[in-house]
Structure 1
Amino acid sequence: MKKILLSALLLSTALSVLSCEKSKPTREPDPYIDSIQARMKANEKIQFEEIDRKLEAHAKAQKRYVFVRLLVEEDYGMDTRRANFVSGIQDITQDLSEDEKAQLEDLIISNYLSSSSAQIRNGRVTKKETFVLNTYAEASAKRNSFLIIDK
């Protein structure tokens, strides 16, 4: 009889241990931890949006506008006159390297030197300037300042 009672006691103890292992206590929501997790998710979303915005801005290359101005001298018999020779406005999508800038200037110089005015009047270049501006309106206004004389 002792054996039966002891077996029953062991069996009930084993069942209660097994039943305790199966039922785990449920976690009560912790507002502090939930708030930290929510902030982390929000910060992560903001960071990804910022990265996307920067990539988008980089993909849309900004247009810029460039032109070259030459200050030239031409012989008119007994006097020498100074004049501006100004190229057309070109749009570019990236900044000009020094080589590209030199090539553009050389092209405009050769255009001037091959012009009839330069050939007839022994024209020569005394100064060259390259202007790179953010908007066409700015470039046009700057270019016109060399072409239009206000009296």
Structure 2
Amino acid sequence: MMAMVMPSNTGPTRYRVNLDELMQLYAANYSLMTRLFPGPLEVGQVLRLVPKLGEDYLLESKELTRYTALYEIRQASAQAYNYLQPQLLVRLYHDARLAEVCASQQIYKLKPRYDYPNKKMHHQDEKHQTNQFLNDWLVFCLKQRIKVEFA
């Protein structure tokens, strides 16, 4: 006679950051950004990204140091509700060849992991999802052969 093993009901499992996967995503984002955009841009320089269809985007250089660059990516058109416009702050680490989303929308410092539930209703893996969004958007830009010009 076989004994039946019942799963223990200890509640939801806690999210664990997969650092290897996150670093691979950062490396892919760096590679895509350096393929798509000329660089490094001087602080204050702005590129206009013109897709065949849809809204234009702006890539603005916010900070440039010996080993890093900070860029803001935002929609070019001004809307009454700016919280509806995609906006990312991306830091490129040239020495490590990584690109990380540091801030997005109204999240000014993305944490690797959030407890859930939380007051602002961030996903447990908000940082990973935001960097995956950047990756998906960069791949889309590359596939669409987006036109890049100085603004």
- TM-score, length-scaled by structure 1: 0.19
When you count helix as a share of all residues, which structure comes out higher? Answer: 1
